[in-house]
Amino acid sequence: MQRRDFLKASSLALSYVGFFTAAPINAFGTSLKGQNLLGFKAISASTKDEVIVPSGYEVKPLISFGDPLFSNATPFDESKTINATSIANIAKTFGDNTDGMSLFPLDDERAILCVNNEYINPELLFNDNGKTMDEQKVAYEQNAVGVSIFEIKQGQNGFEVVLDSPYNRRITAHTPMQISGGAKGHKSMRTKADKKGELALGTLNNCANGQTPWGTYLTCEENFDDFFGSSDANYKFTESEKRYGLGVKSTYGWELDSRFDLAKNPNEPNRFGFIVEIDPYDANSTPIKRTALGRFKHENVEIVISKEGNVVAYMGDDEINEFLYKFVSKGKFDPNNPKNNKNLLDEGTLYVAKFEGENLSGKGEWIELSYGKNNLVAKNGFHSQADILINTRLAASIVGATPMDRPEWIAADLKGEFVYATLTNNKKRESTDAANPRVKNIYGQIIRWSPKKNNHLDTKFEWDMFLLAGNPTKHPNSLHKGTSNITKDNMFNSPDGLKFDKFGRLWIQTDGDYSNKGDYEGMGNNQMLCADPATGEIRRFLTAPIAAEVTGLAFSSDHKTMFVGIQHPGEKLAPSHYPNGGNSTPRSTIVQIRKKDGGIIGS
């Protein structure tokens, strides 16, 4: 067998390490035959400008950027006219850069889909490719980001968007949001427009997401710094502002709007970088920024309920050498008392992870980030819990957390035995440790930890490496070849999206280098793969169009339709015209995938 040859040939046989055995075991040698969790035939890498799925499956778009959510909105306009009308219109359509999403069932045929609209691609939005920005363009972009919430209904040929549903809603950079939890009202949360520090406008760079068992959607604010700049080139940045990536020139030029100009509103960025809770069943509800979960570049949030009923939220901070976090609620989830669950995310304890070990496994610890503990005291700049919640990165560094290779999504398995996290890559890593074992890590890895005795409240855990991504063809003799479950037929780089389906399959989405050249040769466009967590086997399930990232995943209640986000096809003017072909502008799109025989996805 190829895999066995591969293992034999490799001088550095990185075997799959099992938790519950002292010695490393190779889980692949024997168990591939006879297991049937992965029931589809793997597809090849692709560089085509289309979404490809395995034989026996069909794929079609559900909604693309600019598609109306209301009947009084006009469809996407290829003329790209920017004026008051188009600015108002875009806020009534599906936003740009589809990312994390969750499905909330209404009945057998209908559901609400909540979808993040992470950012914008000015090079595709404007006729001058965004080379110059003005206030109107900024206003247009502010209405194209945030969150889109809409009803979908199963029809003859798959799901369709229900225009004008009472659930339909666009949340933009202007939508009022309550600030709650420990940072509410703190002096660094106050602005000229909000003297109490209790009401923010908008949510930004909504990357991935989470879903609570009490029926709310969690949207996670990631690279908010991209939207802020300073009209004063000599603005003196604090240590915290620098750590959060703020600089004089923003990525998007939004400092044309004084709210995003640090020289005029230095506290405004302190009101972003949080997890925001939204009630999808009430389109008039006010979203709530849950500051107790810390401020950083949030990727997603994976909610687990402890045996005792506490809400445990696992979170990653996506930047090189940043950290993995855990929040444990003080209150307990009570399925029979919805009112009681409403504010569970306001009070609790925040922790950050420290990893130790060798040979791709080891032990770890959750270190508490509470005021007065672990040197989080005045002499280190912390005068309250609010200081920790607003400057979480600085606090985590003080307590000795392990700098990771860009934490992206986190997913807990069905029994809550293992929690998996994608560490997407870290091209700048100079020194290694057990959990981040490669310098110049261009491929990324998936690490997993196991709370002791399945107790998510325990501050100790054991961990191992589910995979190191790599290129076994290009790097047969180094760690860059990847672990033994990476082969020439399934290789990929930069794992990012990560989610279990309800049958225990682990779906992996990539956001990496799609050049298909050099170190990345043989990987093709970004892709989605599916892993059997028991055997470690990985099969490629989907390939994305040109220059797109695959991010965001939801299933219909019957698991017979899968929704997948195709983000930024044709970014940086790469030659994509997905999804409409011809000369059309490429647009971020959610696709729906079904098995032609009507079966369960993946089976």
Q: How far is the CB of 125 from ligand FEO (least distance, A)?
A: 19
Shortest distance in whole angstroms from residue 1 CB to ligand FEO: 36
Interaction mask 508-547, Ca ion, x per CB under 5 A:
---x------------------------------------
The amino acid sitting at 252 is Y
Burial class (CB in 10 A: 0-12, 13-18, 19+), 332: middle
247, 226 in Cβ contact below 8 A?
no
**Sequence-ordered strand ranges (E) for 359-418:** 361-368, 404-405, 407-412
Half-sphere exposure of 583 (CA within 13 A, CB side): 2
Q: Tokens 């990345």, residue?
A: 520
Three-class HEC string of 134-187 = CHHHHHHHHHHCEEEEEEEEEECCEEEEECCCCCCEEECCCCEEEEECCCCCCH
CB 45 within 8 A of CB 516: yes
With respect to ligand FEO, which residue has the nearer C-beta, 181 or 497?
A: 497
Quick count: other Cβ atoms within 10 Å of Cβ 339?
8
Measured in whole angstroms, how far is the alpha carbon of residue 251 from the centre of its chain? 20
Footprint of Ca ion on 422-451 (CB under 5 A) = 424
Q: Which residues between 499 and 538 bind ligand FEO (CB under 6 A)?
A: none
Burial class (CB in 10 A: 0-12, 13-18, 19+), 518: exposed
Which of 268, 277, 279, 299 is the binder for ligand FEO (CB under 6 A)?
Answer: 299
Decide which of ligand FEO, Ca ion, none touches 279; Cβ closer than 5 to 8 Å per partner kind: none
Structure tokens at 459: 């501050």
Q: 176-180 and 288-290 as β-strands: parallel, antiparallel, unpaired?
A: parallel
Nearest distance, CB of residue 299 and ligand FEO, angstroms: 5
Q: Does 225 bind ligand FEO (CB under 6 A)?
A: no
Q: Does 222 bind ligand FEO (CB under 6 A)?
A: yes
Q: Which burial class, exposed, middle or buried, applies to 316 when counting CB atoms under 10 A from its CB (0-12, 13-18, 19+)?
A: buried
Size of site (CB under 6 A) for ligand FEO? 6
The residue type of 177 is: M
Among 37, 38, 204, 207, binds ligand FEO (CB under 6 A): 207
State how far the Cα of 395 lies from the Cα of 392, in Å rounded to an integer.
Answer: 5
Please say which residue, 141 or 532, places its beta carbon nearer to ligand FEO. 141
Query: Closest separation between CB of residue 207 and ligand FEO, Å?
Result: 3
Nearer to Ca ion, 496 or 501 (CB): 496
Which is closer to ligand FEO, CB of 207 or CB of 353?
Answer: 207
Q: Which stretch binds Ca ion (CB under 5 A): 75-83, 239-247, 397-405, 506-514?
A: 506-514
Binding at 291: pick from Ca ion, ligand FEO, none (beta carbon under 5-8 Å per type): none
**122 membership: H or E segment, kind and range:** helix 122-125
Least distance from C-beta 206 to ligand FEO, angstroms?
Answer: 9
CB of 512 to Ca ion, least distance (A): 8
Please give the single-letter amino acid code of residue 312.
Answer: V
Residue 98 in contact with residue 66, Cβ under 8 Å? Answer: no
Q: How far is the CB of 244 from ligand FEO (least distance, A)?
A: 15
Rounded CA separation 385/2 (Å): 55
C-alpha to C-alpha distance for 445 and 435, rounded to whole angstroms = 9
The alpha carbon torsion through 289, 295, 298, 302 (nearest 10 deg) reads -70
Q: What is the DSSP string of 218-233?
A: EEEE--GGGG-B-SST
CB of 446 to Ca ion, least distance (A): 13
- In the complex, minimum distance from the CB of residue 526 to Ca ion, in angstroms, rounded to a whole number: 10
Nearest residue (beta carbon) to Ca ion:
511
Under 8 Å between Cβ of 286 and 178: yes
* Residue 222 binding: pick among Ca ion, ligand FEO, none (C-beta 5-8 Å cut-off by kind): ligand FEO
Q: Using CB under 6 A, which residues numbered 14 to 73 contact ligand FEO?
A: none
Closer to Ca ion by Cβ: residue 194 or 496: 496
Judged by CB under 6 A, which of 118, 346, 464, 537 binds ligand FEO? 118
Identify the residue among 261, 268, 346, 408 touching ligand FEO (CB under 6 A): 408
319 binds, among ligand FEO, Ca ion, none (CB under 5 to 8 A by kind): none
Which of residues 214 and 314 has its CB atom nearest to Ca ion in the complex?
314
Number of residues binding to Ca ion, judged by CB under 5 A? 4
Find the shortest distance in angstroms from Cβ 39 to ligand FEO.
30
Site map 360..389 versus ligand FEO, x via CB under 6 A: ------------------------------
CB-wise, 259 or 298, nearer to ligand FEO? 298
Nearest-10 Cα torsion for 267, 273, 277, 283: 70
Of these, 141, 277, 346, 496, which contacts Ca ion (CB under 5 A)?
Answer: 496
537 makes contact, choosing from ligand FEO, Ca ion, none, with CB < 5 to 8 Å by partner type, with none
Residues engaged in binding ligand FEO (CB under 6 A) = 118, 207, 222, 299, 318, 408
Residues engaged in binding Ca ion (CB under 5 A) = 408, 424, 496, 511
